[in-house]
Amino acid sequence: MRIELVKRPERSQLFAAFSPFIALGLTLIAGAIMFTVLGKNPVEALYYYFIDPLREVWSLHELAVKAAPLILIAVGLSICFLSNNWNIGAEGQFIMGAIAGSILPVMFPEFQSWIVLPLMLLMGIAGGALYGAIPAYLKVRFNTNEILTSLMLVYVAQLFLDWMVRGPWRNPEGMNFPETRTFSPSAVLPEIWSASGRANWGFVFAIVTAVALWFMLSRTLRGFEVQVLGQSPRAGKFAGFSQSRMVFFAFLVAGGLAGLAGISEVSGAIGQLRPTISPGYGFAAIIVAFLGRLNPLGIIAAGLVLALSYLGGEAAQISIGVSDKVVRAFQGMLLFFVLACDTLILYRIRFVGSSAAKTVEATQNV
C-alpha cells in the first residue's frame, strides 16, 4: 500500500480550522510514547504537564505571566511571517528591548516618578524595534537572508546582556553576583490583581495588542498590504505597495513588540537584569505564531497552550523527575506536527491499495 498526497482544488476550510487541534492531539500521543520510553507512566506525566497547572488560581496567574511574552512576540511575528519576512531573531529583540528599557532603573535609580515606567516601556519598544531594523536593513540593502542575520543577532544580544550584567551594569551592592540592581518600585510593572497571584500588566498589553493587530490585519488597507505582499509579491508591486517598506514595517513591529515583551518581563516578572532573562520565549513564539494560524486571536489561545507546557515542565520536573529539556522536545514536536498538519489544508491523503497498483501494472503491458 502506498500513501499519496493529492492536491485539493480549493483550500479546505475544515482542515484550516482543525489542523491545530489534530497537531495538539498528535503531540500528546507522541509525548505519551516519549514518557513510556523514558520509563514514566504516560498518563501521570501528561496529567502533571497539562492538567495539574490549571487547578489553582495562583497557577493560572503563572500561566498569564508565561503567556504574555509569548503572545506579544508571536503577534508581531505573525506580521513578519504573513508578509514573507522570516524573522527568527525575536529572542534577540526581546533581550535588547529589556536592556534598553532597563537603562533608567539601572543607571538612574534615584529618578523615581510615575513617568519612569511609561518611559521604560517606550525605550523597550524602541530598543527591540531598532534591533529588528538591522536584519531589515541588511535584507533591503544587500539582499541578505533575514533568517540567518536575525538568528545570529540573537547570540550577539545574549552575549551582550551577559557582558552587561557581569561588567558595567553589575549591582555594586550585589556581592559580585552577575545581576543588576533590583528595580525601584516605580520601575516595576504592577500586578493586575495582586491578592491572588503574580500576573502583571504585561498580559493586558498582550491581549490588547493581539486584538489591535487582528483588527489591522483583517480590516485595514495596511493589513491587506501585508497579506498581498506576502502571498504574491508581484501582485503587491502591481498594487503599488513597496516591498522594502514592508520589510521594515514588519521587522519594526515585530521587534518593537518583542522589546515590549522583554521590558515587561524584566520589570514585571523578574525585577532586575540577569544573564538569562528568557527561557527561549523568542523561539517558542515562532511555534505560537504558527499554532495560532498566524491569526492574532488564534495566537492568544496558542500562547496559553505553550505557556502551559512551560508550567507543566516545571511541575513534571518536581513531581516525576523528568528533565526540563523535555519541554523543548514537546515544543519541537508541536511545531513539527503543526507544520505537517497544515499540509492537509491544501492536500488530502489518498491510500493507494496494492490491488489497484497491480491493475496498473497489468494494463501497462497491453
- Alpha carbons 141 and 45: distance in angstroms, whole number: 50
CB 337 within 8 A of CB 34: no
Q: Which residue lies nearer to another protein by CB, 107 or 352?
A: 352
Q: How many CA atoms lie within 13 A of 42 on its CB side?
A: 11
Q: Which residue lies nearer to another protein by CB, 22 or 346?
A: 346
Residue 103 Cβ vs another protein, minimum distance, rounded to whole Å = 33
Contacts of 71 (CB under 8 A, 6+ apart): 206, 207, 209, 210, 288, 299, 300, 303
Give me the phi and psi of 165, to 5 degrees please: -75, -20
- Alpha carbons 223 and 165: distance in angstroms, whole number: 40
Cα distances from 81 to residues 2, 210, 229, in angstroms, run: 34, 15, 11
- Alpha carbons 202 and 337: distance in angstroms, whole number: 29
Residue 161 Cβ vs another protein, minimum distance, rounded to whole Å = 37
Q: Which helix (H) or strand (E) holds 8?
A: none
Strand partners, 46: none
Our CA dihedral for 158, 160, 164, 167, rounded to 10 degrees, sits at 110
Residue 267 Cβ vs another protein, minimum distance, rounded to whole Å = 30
Q: ∠ at Cα 24 (82, 350), nearest 5°? A: 85
Burial of 262 (0-12, 13-18, 19+ CB in 10 A): buried
Residue 85 Cβ vs another protein, minimum distance, rounded to whole Å = 17
Residue 77 Cβ vs another protein, minimum distance, rounded to whole Å = 21
Residue 350 Cβ vs another protein, minimum distance, rounded to whole Å = 9
Q: Please state, as a whole number, how many other Cβ atoms lie within 10 Å of the Cβ of residue 141.
A: 9
Residue 223 Cβ vs another protein, minimum distance, rounded to whole Å = 8
Contacts of 145 (CB under 8 A, 6+ apart): 139
Q: Which residue lies nearer to another protein by CB, 115 or 235?
A: 235
- Say which amino acid occupies 312: G
Residue with cell 489497484: 356
Residue 230 Cβ vs another protein, minimum distance, rounded to whole Å = 10
The residues of the shown chain that bind another protein, judged by CB under 8 A, are 9-11, 219-222, 224, 227-228, 231-232, 234-240, 356, 359-360, 363-364, 366
CB 257 within 8 A of CB 128: yes
Name the nearest CA neighbour of 187 among 99, 86, 112: 112
Residue 26 Cβ vs another protein, minimum distance, rounded to whole Å = 26
Q: Which residue lies nearer to another protein by CB, 7 or 55?
A: 7
